[in-house]
Structure formats: structure tokens, C-alpha cells
Structure 1
């Protein structure tokens, strides 16, 4: 037993000891150098792209360096010793320009345990055309299960990607940062443990940040362990942040502004800022989505979305404001079920607050949100557009919400399956406003509604006064998430407050 342990430790020590740092310097490097020290750095990516890297190796780009090229190294790390693409030296981020000539400025195919951090990436072409360009692309193309991808603290911008569906490829799959299972996958190719955090992606598309797995139909078949956290996506051609075919994806604490900024005459132009689709158990929380565009030919333009074939997914504790298409899309054109929208704040979203399309997803729960519509707006609170593919009469609930409507918009409620209870409606009462049990039509006595600015910390105005009629006036909801917008504990068997703030005393 001791002999086997010593052998294992010796092998691990050898792997660590053999790990090498490789240096690339666009100004003073030379590809005839060894590349293994700052004074003997390589100049271009030629040697890097020809080399098979080992666990623990580092590929370090000198700060202030600029390359007109694509970085496409090979090899896999291990959980304990990933391979890293990073930086060295002083100054600004090293910048790699793909110039629209490459599929991806950084391209890592069929590899596990990589970290990419600290870089500036572009891949700009005069037009989007028929090319699926990417800033950073990890692709699984027949490699089975791949593990441990980390993409952190990069600035990706001006990536020009096609909007067109070509040769079986979906354009949503690519853009600024993409971790993608190829469209040629046979169903066994997956990613496990993907972390995309603290990146800035702007002026890029089609999608800003996307994790995509073509096989998603049954539990256990999906990509797992996905976390997309703390990123900023801005002025994205179409969707800001998207997961497709993931089980248990966590999308949190991101900022999305100005998504859906481009339209193409012969492409699909629908867009939402942050959403999941063909997924299970995905959670979208603590994000801010604002100023999403709704250009001609785009029926969407929402901040958030429970899309096709979402099962047991949750949108909670988010801040949505000034989105041209509205707060959230709930779409059911196949077999979605059991999705939740709770403890969110929508302020001055346009067109509508909630868009229901393709029938109603069965057992959807929309509760304990605050919807604020300012003066001069014609925002519909609930808007039902089309029924193809879904059940318009499926059961769903709308409870414990506060609706402050200074505008003129009303309600288009689908079918007969909705249960409306204990909601509070204030200011303008449209003739289509629901007539429900325990309806409240008094001033909710929020601290300062409508005063939210940029940042979730600006939303103190949505807290309740202690004498609010919304205090302890809600209906009990099982498995309510356990806490309100500010982290206050929710009661289990007692009536909660209506809205996003729990007031107990």
C-alpha cells in the first residue's frame, strides 16, 4: 500500500516538476528562442499552436503586446494542474486581433482543464456574412466528456458573427465567449464544470456569452456545472447571456445593457438579455438587465426569458428596467413545466412586463414580484401573443405581486388556467385588470418606488413601510426560496408580505 502511495506521489511530483511557463512577447520576442523565460520569449503564436501542452503549463502573453493572429494551443490539464493562458509584465492587457479572418481568436478544441484570463480579444470583420466568428471558443467536437473550463477577467469586444442558420448550425451558439458542443455531436459530448466570470463582452455577437449543448432531452444527458457570474455584456448584437441544454446552470450577478442592438434582413432577430432554454434546474439570479432593444422584426426585447423546454428553472432576485420588450418572456411551444419567476423588480419596462407565448408553461409560478410602470407608458402588465404548440389553458399562478401602474396598459391573460390571489394593484386600474380573491387596491406604501438607478443597491425604494397594507398580506407558497430580495428570511407556514420585501415587525 505504501509503495503504491509513494508511486502516485512521485508521478504527481513529476507532472508538477515538468510544468513549464512559456512567454510570448510581440515586441522583443523571437520564435527561435526557447520561450521558457522572459528574456527568451517567443514572438508569435506559431510555436504555441504547434505544441501539445502538459498539465500545469502556462502560456503567458506580455502586457501591452498586440498580435494579429489566432491562438489555438492543444493539450489538456488536470483538475489539480490546469493549463493557463495568462499575462506577464507591466501595462495594459495583451491584445489579440482575429481581424475577422479566423473562426475564433482563441480556439481550444476537445480539451479539459484550461484557464483563460486577463486578455483583450477582438475578431472584427466588415460584416457578419455567413461566418460564425468568436472571440473565445471552447469546442467539444466528438471528445466525450470534457472538464474544468475557466474563462475569467477578459475583455472581448467587436466580434462579428453571422445571424444565419447554415448547414445545421444555430447562430445563437457563437459570439463573444462560447463554450460549445458541436452540432455534429452524437449525444455523448458534454462539458462538466464551466466557470465564466468577471469578463466584459461588448459590441459582439451573435451572442455575448453562451454555453451550448445540443443534447438536452433527458435528465443526465446535459452539460452540468455551469456558472456564469459577475460579467458585463453591453451592446450585444442579439442575446446577452444564454445557456442551452444545461442542467443546473447558475447565471448570477451579471449586468446586461443594450442587448439586441443589431438586426439583419434575412436573419432571426429575436433577442433577450439573459435567458436559458432546453435546460433543467437552471437559476438566473441577482442580475441586472436594462435597455434591451426591440428592433423591427424582433418580437422579444426582454430582460429575461424562460424559453422552450425549460424544466424546474427559476428567475429570482433580478432587476429589470427600461427594456423595450419588457421584463420576462414565458414561452411554451413544446413541453416546458414548473418554472418560477419570483422576488424580481421590474421598473419602467416597455411594451409589456410579462409576455406569454406559445400557450402557458404548465405550473408556472409568478409570485412576490414588484412591477412599476411610470407616467406616460402604455406597458401591458401581462401580454399573451400566440398559442401554437402549447396549452393555453394550462394551470399557473400569479400571487403576492405588487403592480404600480401609472401608465395606461392592461392585461391579456391566456386561457382559463391562471390562479390570481393576493395581488396588490395601485394607481391606474385598466378595465382588463384581474378580478381576484383577496385583491388589494390600496397604496402599498413603498419607500420610494420608481427611483431605482443602475445597480441592485439602488433599489431601497422598493422596501415596504412597516404600516404597509402589503405586510403579512400574502398567501403562503411552498418552497418559496427562503428569503426576500434583500436576504431577509421568509416565513414557512405564515402569510408573507406581498412584494419583494418581507416585513415582520
Structure 2
């Protein structure tokens, strides 16, 4: 670590320090320092004209901004303090020796709180800077062109070495409307933005990693506007972005950018939500050979057309690759191919979609705006669509070059297109839709996924492995560019021989497991938020319970509720995550003594019944018929009761910009039933009735208790 000299050194002291190779002169306002220094900032007790030492720290950001910094210098803000204003220091670091802005002391991250200006923390035409460990905000009573952390390149020379890591960026009142007179503000508004002028030099080395971004208008992380040449060595890694009013990650003007291990959730939400126009999850524009891998995009709110997890946009050259990603319940579905949607031109980059998993993300628009000539390679993906329609458009017709191979499609309804230039090879097509003609190796039987629908995140997708006897095991075909590993890290044969169909290429796994809890078996999203009502579906119609309507009736999320003589914790998860089990023979661990098994749930498509098996710790079993009335029924049934009645529920939105258009005034209910069990034995597990995990007719179970 570099030392700090609190006062100007005498000539003798300076000579001794120089000979020893130790600390350099302290910085003076407006002048470059002669060696690495550490400037301490405490906006709670420091003085504007302080020395910048631990004992006499600077007291405001203007004092920091008045100094010029060089390689190895550090600017440290005291933990637990709030500095109000704009942080825009001067100077440049050096290769391997950046200027670092960070924190010191114990306590919460120091906050740099903007006052509603264009940016709170800004680097302009600078090189070799690392910013870390801060909490950056920029609140305002109204939204405008506004960012939290902003890096600008405006001059023709190249810049280097910008690292933004371990930051929290929140409460940025950026612009969330991509329409109207101020539509241009949207692309430059977000929590973290790299902004260039078309005549400016690029940045060589941009790392944006391990940051938490939330409640920022316009989006999460954006590299916006291509400079005179491509940015290079761009890495956007392991960032968590939640509840922002626009896109999750946008990469503009970059050569071979790598975007990996990021999470984007609740796009369009937060304190400064989406207003109008379009946004999407993670996507490139005007770039070359971008790669997006190991990312997760979930629960985006609908926009006018987009809101897809992934998008290959205008002016992409070479290829556009999405691999090893997970997505679920996005308002616009899985993928948008939009190379012909912008003013930047269409260079017909090859779209590569491989080894991804999509859970109820079933819309693909790979030929948006009539672009039928950008090659598409879509192979070894798994699409599980229990409540959403399989809604697919692919490049087709003269000049099309589309290959759809080794995928697993499971859906209750929908279709896949056929046409000139579209080739289907060795896919699985299972559920309520027809296999397209031309796939001579088509499989239409159950692919035997281990526990489909149970994933709650990218690293929790083991339910998409293949059970013994799966027709997808080893029956895929060789595809150019197959790669060396699958979604889970299993090896893929170099020549493609014996590859599985779908995103899993490991060996067969054992029979469906004993789920350790009812929550672990959840495979359906039945309750949504009024602000994002398109998530999930209790049936194939896209209808679901309203979390707010249930809360108004006494069933608030996480509340303790009573039904059928049992106590339950209602819906402990966030709305829009799997919250009930669509019964398909799941065996669930359950313990306790009692005379009754109390089941909280409902039937779909009428009252539903099935045989439930209770297994005791001594190995004995009892069986009983579980019957639950239809969730639309508001009266007690012959063997169940109404647990709670909600005054309205969700239907598909008629206007994507208006969530209230999804409100249906018909009452719906959650129901409760009891089954007799042996009170002299200890329960070990319960096996639910058989059925399909697809959200058609059947039983839905929210919780089970022994009383």
C-alpha cells in the first residue's frame, strides 16, 4: 500500500524519501503529484481544505475534484458516510498501476449521492482508473437524462483500463421512455453507462464486474454509442441487476465483448419503471462477434414488442452467440433477432443459440422486421413451456439458412414454422403441438426431463437433466460448431457422435428424486404481481392469481394463514417464481404425526381428483383420493372447502403498456382438502397424484401439512 504524507516535505526529507524509494510528496490542489498518494475523504467531519490524511481528511467532493491524480494514487471515502454532489476527479493512471477510488474504515459502503445532475460519478477521457466499493445514487423528483456512474470518451485518442467493480448503484432517476421528443435520453440513461461520441477514440479494456444495480431509470448497464473504432477487451461479468426501468445490459460498439454470469430480474420495474417503448434483457448492437454466456434473465415486464431475454440487434458483424444461459417468464419470451430493426444496417451476422434453457419463455422472433436472410443456428436448447404458447418465427424463404437441431420442445400448445430455408433435425417435440414436417429423426414422446419447471435460477436447473430411458439420450446429430461442453459443464463429443438432445449432455440420472420439501417440487407459477401480470399461468389460458387480490383477502405473501385446521406460510417466495406443484407423481418428504393430511391448492379445468399415497417411516403406506374443486368455483365442494376467495385475478394483457388491462373481475379461490392418515405412524413422505407438469387439466398443490 502507498503511504500518505500529510504536509509538504522539506528538501532534506524529500531527498531521503527519494533515495529510499518510499512515499512521494503530498498532492496539492490542481497539480499532479510526484508519487503515489492516498487521499482520504470523510464528508461527515472532513474540511474542504483538509490535507487529505486520515487525521485531516478532505470534507467534500469538490476538494477531490480539484486535484489531479496519477498512477498508483488512491481516493478513499470513509465507510458509513454520505458525500453529496458529483465526483469527477482528474488525471490518469498507468498500465498496471491505476488510480483507485474506493473505501476505508468499517461500516456500510460510502454513498456518493448525486443531486440530480447528468451523472454522479464521472470519468471523462481518462485511462487506467478502478472504481470499487462505493454506493452511488442520483435521485430526483422527476426523471431525465441521468446516470449513476458514467465513463465518457469524447476526444480522438484511445483510452485504456477502466474497471468498475463491486459497486452498488441505485436510485438513479434516469429516463424510462423510449418514445417521444426525448426518446434519445433512454439509450444514455442507466445505472452504469459508458458513453462515446462517434468521432471519439475507443476504450481498450472495459471491465464492469460484481456490481449490484437496482432502481435505476432507463436500465442497468449500458455501453452506448459506438466511437470511431470498436471498444476492445470488454468484459461484463457477475453483475446483479434488479428492478430497473429498461434494458438489463446493452453492449454497443464493441469487438468480441464477453457478457457472462450476470443476472437481470424484474426488468421494467423499480422506483423508476418503464414508461413506453421497448427494452430487452441482454443484447448487443453495432458490435462484432459478441458472446453472452452463463447469464440469467427473468420476469421482465412486457413492453410494446420486445421484453425478450436475448436479442441480436442491428449492425452486428460476424456472429452473435448466446450459450449456457437460463431464462424464465419474460414478457416477450426467449429471443429477438432484430438485425433489420435499426438504422445501423443489417450485416446478416450468424445467430447462434446453443445449450440454453428456457422455462416458460416460449416466444422467438428470429426474423423481426422481415429479416429472412440472417443465418440462424439453434441447437441443443431445452424449452419447457408448461403455461405459455410455443410462439416461434424463424428466418425462412429464399435466401434463408436456418438450422434447428437437437432441441427439446415441451409445450401444451403452439406451433413451429415450416418453410423454404428452414431445416429441422433430431428435435424432441412433446405436448400439445405438432412436429414440423421434414424432421426425419423427430421424437414426439416424453423426453423424460428429471424435474422440469422446478428451476429457480441458472444454477438450480438440474431438473432439466434426462432420466434413464429418455429418447433424447445419445440420439442427437452432429452440428458444426457444437462446442465442447453443455449447459451443465458436461463434455460434448468433438465430432457430435452420440450427443444428447437438449441442453443436457451428461449420462442418465436416477428416477425422479424424493423432493426435500414441497417448495423444491414447485413447477408452476400460479400467482403474479399486479405490476407484471403476464408471468406464469395456472392454466394454458395465461390466467393466474393476483398476489395483491389474495393479500387483500388475508393471504399476503409470507403471512401465516389457517385453513382446514392447519397452519401454512403462504407464498414465501417473490411473485412470479414457481409457487405450486402441478401434480405429476412427485414424491415429497414430509414428517409428523397426525390423523389428517391437509392440502392447500385447487383444480384447473374443473374439479380434479387423483390418488395420493402417504408413506410412513416404517415403510407402510396408505392411499386416499385427493379432490380439489376448480379455482374458479367459489363454493365448497363435497370433499373440499374454500380457503380464501380473491376478488379478481389476472388474464393476458390487452395493452402491454398498461398492466391493469390484465385484471379480470371474476372471483377465484384457493381451496383446502383433508385426507385421513394413520395417527399411530410417523409420516415420511407423500406422493402426489399422477399427471402432466403442463398446465392443462389437473391438480395444483401449494402446500401440505400433517395435523
TM class, shorter-chain normalised?
0.7 to 0.9
Contact 1:337 1:363 in 2 (8 A): yes
Unpaired runs of at least 5, structure 1: 1-8
Residue 240 (structure 2) aligns with: 232
Cα drift, residue 14 of structure 1: 8.8
Cα drift, residue 479 of structure 1: 1.9
1:239-258 pair list within 5 angstroms: 239-258=247-266
Residue 92 (structure 2) aligns with: 76
* Alpha-carbon distance in structure 1 between the residues aligned to 2:79 and 2:146: 25
1:30-41 pair list within 5 angstroms: 30-35=47-52, 37-41=53-57
Residue 264 in 1 paired to residue 267 in 2?
no
Residue 416 in 1 paired to residue 427 in 2?
no
Residue 274 in 1 paired to residue 296 in 2?
no
* Alpha-carbon distance in structure 1 between the residues aligned to 2:34 and 2:479: 56
Structure 1 pair 424–250 and aligned structure 2 pair: CA distance change class (3 A): same
Cα drift, residue 151 of structure 1: 0.4
1:49-128 pair list within 5 angstroms: 49-100=65-116, 102-128=117-143
Residue 35 (structure 2) aligns with: 18
Structure 1 pair 76–391 and aligned structure 2 pair: CA distance change class (3 A): farther
Match of residue 502, structure 1, among 485, 500, 505: 505
Cα drift, residue 96 of structure 1: 1.4
Residue 426 in 1 paired to residue 430 in 2?
yes
SS of 1:314 mapped into structure 2: strand
| Number of corresponding residues | 470
Contact 1:260 1:270 in 2 (8 A): no
Match of residue 444, structure 2, among 399, 417, 441: 441
Residue 357 (structure 1) aligns with: 368
Match of residue 291, structure 2, among 278, 283, 288: 283
Structure 1 pair 324–168 and aligned structure 2 pair: CA distance change class (3 A): closer
Contact 2:158 2:204 in 1 (8 A): yes
Residue 469 in 1 paired to residue 485 in 2?
no
**Considering only CA atoms, is the larger Rg found in Structure 1 or Structure 2?**
2
* Alpha-carbon distance in structure 1 between the residues aligned to 2:309 and 2:391: 15
Cα drift, residue 168 of structure 1: 10
Structure 1 pair 14–60 and aligned structure 2 pair: CA distance change class (3 A): closer
* Residues 108-136 of structure 1 deviation map (CA, whole Å, 9 limit, x = unaligned): 100001011111111112222xx421100
Residue 4 (structure 1) aligns with: none
Residue 322 (structure 1) aligns with: 329
Contact 2:361 2:388 in 1 (8 A): no
Structure 1 pair 18–378 and aligned structure 2 pair: CA distance change class (3 A): closer
SS of 1:18 mapped into structure 2: coil
SS of 2:127 mapped into structure 1: coil
Match of residue 379, structure 1, among 366, 383, 389: 389
Residue 459 (structure 2) aligns with: 457
Residue 656 (structure 2) aligns with: none
* Residues 65-117 of structure 1 deviation map (CA, whole Å, 9 limit, x = unaligned): 112201010111012210011001111011111131x1110011000010111
Cα drift, residue 264 of structure 1: 3.1
Match of residue 306, structure 2, among 279, 300, 304: 300
* Alpha-carbon distance in structure 2 between the residues aligned to 1:373 and 1:434: 21
TM-score scaled to structure 1, two decimals?
A: 0.87
SS of 1:206 mapped into structure 2: strand
* Alpha-carbon distance in structure 2 between the residues aligned to 1:240 and 1:152: 17
* Alpha-carbon distance in structure 2 between the residues aligned to 1:105 and 1:433: 54
* Residues 476-500 of structure 1 deviation map (CA, whole Å, 9 limit, x = unaligned): 0122121111111111221411111
Cα drift, residue 59 of structure 1: 0.7
Residue 337 (structure 1) aligns with: 349
Cα drift, residue 252 of structure 1: 0.5
* Residues 362-389 of structure 1 deviation map (CA, whole Å, 9 limit, x = unaligned): 2210100000011xx34234146xx9xx
* Alpha-carbon distance in structure 2 between the residues aligned to 1:459 and 1:44: 48
Match of residue 231, structure 2, among 217, 223, 226: 223
Cα drift, residue 24 of structure 1: 0.7
* Alpha-carbon distance in structure 2 between the residues aligned to 1:242 and 1:39: 43
Cα drift, residue 355 of structure 1: 4.9
Contact 2:373 2:399 in 1 (8 A): no
Match of residue 150, structure 2, among 137, 158, 164: 137
1:141-160 pair list within 5 angstroms: 141-160=154-173
* Alpha-carbon distance in structure 2 between the residues aligned to 1:168 and 1:445: 47
Structure 1 pair 356–168 and aligned structure 2 pair: CA distance change class (3 A): closer
Unpaired runs of at least 5, structure 2: 1-17, 25-32, 341-345, 509-707
Residue 367 in 1 paired to residue 373 in 2?
no
Structure 1 pair 383–234 and aligned structure 2 pair: CA distance change class (3 A): same
Contact 1:476 1:496 in 2 (8 A): yes
* Alpha-carbon distance in structure 1 between the residues aligned to 2:397 and 2:436: 22
Cα drift, residue 433 of structure 1: 4.4
TM-score scaled to structure 2, two decimals?
A: 0.63
- Give me the CA root mean square deviation: 2.5
Contact 2:397 2:420 in 1 (8 A): no
